[in-house]
Amino acid sequence: MSHMAEPSLDRTTVPALQRWKEEARRIVMTTAYDAVTARIADSVVDVILVGDSVGNVCLGFENTLPVSIAMMNHHLEAVARTGPRALLVADMPFLSFHLSPEETIRNAGGFLQRGADAVKLEGGAKRIEMVRALVDCEIPVMGHLGLTPQSVNVMGGFKVQGRKLDDASRLLEDAHRLQEAGCFALVLEGIPAELATRATETLTIPTIGIGAGPGCSGQVLVFHDVLSLTEGHRPKFVRAYLDGFQLLREALSRWATDVRSGTFPAAQESYRLPQEFADTIANWTPPSPT
């Protein structure tokens, strides 16, 4: 039976997520890239992802490929300083887990030293060696299959994956291989709902969907997408709960109007001198030029 209770104020852990899969309790995950968004999200969600999507959401890049470990460390540290109750997961950016197990361990270990509880990395069978190396070092790993943004050039764009039988079968096989390698959860992105449902049914670890239908163990969306904080095209799988961009721009516009009309700041936004000094300052004159 699904649990409808409010989120617990206890810290979310990796074993908790695995237990929730057994209890059919839905997992809620969103991104945070700074202290402000982390504080807003933390009392609401179960998992906070410091995603490499910071590249295209906040840093102006076209995709996630330019995001470096240094950039990820910067944003992870900002989120970690808030001491989140949610499980804090950090994305392994492009080239941070491709070259050798040693470098992969060093990069992921650096995330844990900066406050992450776990790391997430993209890819299937090709990444098994890296997943095992991390798990052997007691670093919890969340996998990511389907539309993997770091593979955008190979895929020819951000396109739904797994629509052909061979591709669907390979994804299911990769999901089970990642589970066997030690992943504690999988993100399934941009795949048909039936495929995500079958993966969820056959895995013992939880799945977290994004554009993968309602059959997953939980759902993740980018914070800025849920609140519609950015302009432009919105993917089919996003449901915006607020026109945040327009609301914030309207508020800022009202402030700008008040500044230009001279009505801001008013007395309530201003500091005052003690009365005994006020007359002296009011009558002060500049010294004569020397």
Indicate if 43 and 172 belong to the same structural domain.
Answer: yes
Per-residue pLDDT for 272 more than 60?
A: yes
Same domain, 128 and 181: yes
Residues with a catalytic annotation lie at 189
Q: 184 and 49, same structural domain?
A: yes
Mean pLDDT for the stretch of residues 10-20: 96
**How many angstroms separate the Cα of 78 from the Cα of each of 32, 112, 250, 273, 277?**
10, 14, 28, 38, 43
Mean pLDDT taken over the chain: 95
Which of 96-105, 165-174, 276-285 is predicted with the least confidence, judged by mean pLDDT?
Answer: 276-285
Q: What is the average pLDDT across 22-46?
A: 98
Q: Is residue 7 part of a domain?
A: no
User: In this structure, are 168 and 204 located in the same domain?
Assistant: yes
Q: Is residue 134 part of a domain?
A: yes
Structural domain count, the chain: 2
Domain that holds residue 252: 246-282
For residue 287, the 8-state DSSP code is P
Looking at the structure, do residues 190 and 257 belong to the same domain, yes or no?
Answer: no
Segment 211-267, tens digit of pLDDT: 999 999 999 999 999 999 998 888 999 999 999 999 999 999 999 999 999 999 999
According to the model, what pLDDT value does residue 9 have?
58
Same domain, 34 and 163: yes
Task: Say yes or no: 236 and 163 in one domain.
Answer: yes
Q: Which two tokens stand for residue 50?
A: 């410091």
Q: Residue 6: its pLDDT value, please? A: 46
Q: How confident is the model at residue 10 (pLDDT cuts 50, 70, 90)?
A: confident
Domain of residue 40, CATH code: 3.20.20.60
pLDDT at position 161 over 80: yes
Instruction: Return the pLDDT at 5.
Output: 43
- Pair (147, 263) in one structural domain: no
